[in-house]
Amino acid sequence: HRLPQEVRSGSGNFLLVPIPEYPLLDCVPNKTVKIVVLGASNVGKTGALYSRKVTLEGEEVSLQIQDTPCVALQDDAEGLYCQEQINRSIYWADGYVLVFSITDHNSYRTIQPLYQHVRRIHPSGNIPVILVGNKSDLLRARQVPADEGETLAASLGGIYFEVSARENHEGVHAAFLHLCQEVIRALGGGNGEKRRGGLHLARPKSPNMQELKRRFRQVLSSKVKSATTI
């Protein structure tokens, strides 16, 4: 794929920044791909809701991307601290970007339980997913070898992309495009109807992400298990 100029010249260290924004109202009718970005704290997934238009195999598709507050493993590592808002986003989405930082093994350990959590919300069928190892520019601080990422991605039925949101926007873009293709395939040609149970859900309201994240960190640091515990 040849990337548009605005993709190549994007700036910022966040996974979602490099993909050019498109007004929601300008969405391509009946060709919408909904993606949610999930991962532990500090892995680089920041953004709000992003609406993008991409061209896939000659056809325009509207891409809606939802950022989420971070998730964290419980002390016993068996489950996740995960806000209700994340559950709504998981339910809403057609495809999943699971992100960890290659410099943080704990963020990697969060991925498998996170995937299980998505599975619980969508128990049947194929779940379009990609695994993204971010911060590949920080090679000296690497804690997760690339082959571990590949093995984990394969076990989830997806592909592993190692990217640097800071230095390689093309990698980020390629990862999202791949997931879009997977979603369109899973939805059966992408004619826009939500085939999963015939639902056509509205996007969850984008709350104030910074406030949500702040509150979530408070909950985690005080170890009060009042957040939805799975």
Selected binder of ligand GTP within 32, 41, 62, 89 (CB under 6 A): 41
Residue 32 or 134: the one with the smaller Cβ distance to ligand GTP is 134
Selected binder of ligand GTP within 13, 74, 106, 112 (CB under 6 A): 13
Q: Is residue 42 at the binding interface for ligand GTP, with CB under 6 A as the rule?
A: yes
CA–CA dist 121, 99 (Å, integer)? 19
Place of tokens 């690339």: 146
Residue 14 or 161: the one with the smaller Cβ distance to ligand GTP is 14
DSSP assignment, residue 132? E
CA–CA dist 103, 97 (Å, integer)? 18
Contact between 164 and 135 under an 8 Å Cβ cutoff? The reply is yes
Other CB atoms within a 10 A radius of the CB of residue 229 amount to: 10
Tokens for 140, please give them.
Answer: 């000296």
Tell me the per-residue interface mask from 74 to 113 with ligand GTP, x by CB under 6 A, - otherwise.
----------------------------------------
- Give residue number: closest CB to ligand GTP: 44
Amino acid at 51: S
Q: Is residue 70 at the binding interface for ligand GTP, with CB under 6 A as the rule?
A: yes
Site stretch for ligand GTP (CB under 6 A), options 75-83, 143-151, 163-171, 175-183: 163-171
Tokens for 83, please give them.
Answer: 């806000």
Q: Is residue 66 at the binding interface for ligand GTP, with CB under 6 A as the rule?
A: no
